Amino acid sequence: MFAGLGLGWNAVLFASGAALVIWGAVKFLDGAVFISRAADIPKVVVGATVVSLATTFPEFAVSFSAAFLGKPLLAVGNAVGSYLCNIGLVVGLSALVGTIAVTRRIFMRQALFALGAAAALWATALVLGSVGRPMGILFILGAVAFLVYNWRLSSAGDDPKEEAPKVEKAEWVRQGLGFLVGAASVGAGSILLVQNGAQIARHAGVSELIIGLTIVAVGTSLPEITLAVASMIKGHMDMSLGNILGANVLNVFWVVGASAIVIPLPIVEQNRVLDLPFTLLMIIALLVFGLSGRGVSRMKGGMLTGIYLVYLALMAVFFLG
């Protein structure tokens, strides 16, 4: 569709797609948070379920569109790249602003889920070499199990509830329309991102996997980055950290799983020897850092960002070109 436009137009349309995804994700997120607050869902559970689903929707839309358009490497790259970006950039840079305090028990539960998701994807890559439809279904069941588990945390009273606010009907209509318009914008922007990202990769002589792991992944992670900045300003970084961990679980189980149902996703050598080992390294580092001391300090945040930069450097040296 966009093959004959030239690099300049592809870049413009790619940027337009990114803008649509970001704008739509903000509207979608606002609607999701409004609904969750009106329904009186606890803050930590909101971060790990409702907000995670909302902020992971761009990754889902982009990877699902990529799979539907026959670009499975871009679909895999976006999901895995977003996982890495969420820890290396979102958590790492947020911790550089100020120490991220954690609720140890809840943090450990969410981090272990994220670790399990990364381990499951790497094991699938090593044993099967691809994520086919049967594994895609199992991954989606894993996402359902994760969400159900977090809802049970809510009913167990791990986070105190506040009285649900009274909301006028007009506000429900306004927020509902914003929610739907945001979803549509993310979908349209995703198609522009995927199609023009593939063309940019072709012009630049790099693989669609590299494009997915880098600029597309960073673009679809911008809702998490935006939420983290807002959370730091408002003093609610615990909610943002829950969202990031939940988003990483869903990047594997929901995003990869749904995309694999559309088309089997090949896991290439770069994924097996670099991308997926680094996802495990980074979530293990975050788990250790979060449970040691009083949370994720500036030094620990710098180390997480440093690991991410090492990963990008290794990619550039061994796989770029």
Domain ranges of the chain: 7-158+167-318
Which CB contacts under 8 angstroms, 24+ apart, belong to 118-122? 118/83, 118/248, 118/252, 118/276, 118/279, 118/280, 118/283, 119/280, 120/252, 121/80, 121/252, 121/256, 121/276, 121/279, 122/272, 122/276, 122/277, 122/279, 122/280
Under 8 Å between Cβ of 230 and 51: no
Is the pLDDT at 157 greater than 60? The verdict is no
Superfamily of domain 7-158+167-318 in CATH is NCX, central ion-binding region (1.20.1420.30)
Q: In angstroms, rounded to a whole number, what is the distance separating the alpha carbons of residues 65 and 234?
A: 34
Q: Regarding predicted confidence, which is higher, 183 or 319?
A: 319
Give residue-wise pLDDT tens across range 228-277: 766 666 665 656 687 788 889 999 999 999 999 999 999 999 999 999 99
Per-residue pLDDT at 38 exceeds 80 = no
Backbone angles phi and psi of 167, in degrees to 5: -120, 130
Question: What average pLDDT does the segment 297-317 reach?
Answer: 95
| Confidence band for 203, pLDDT divided at 50, 70 and 90 | confident
Residues 89-99 have pLDDT tens digits of 989 988 888 88
Alpha-carbon separation of residue 196 from 38, 73, 190 (angstroms)? 39, 15, 10
Of 57, 56, 76, 59, the residue nearest 67 (C-alpha): 76
CB 258 within 8 A of CB 60: yes
- The reply to whether the predicted model has a pTM over 0.75 is yes
Residue 43 confidence (pLDDT) above 60? no
The pLDDT of residue 40 is above 70: no
Cα angle vertex 20, ends 264, 263, to 5°?
Answer: 5
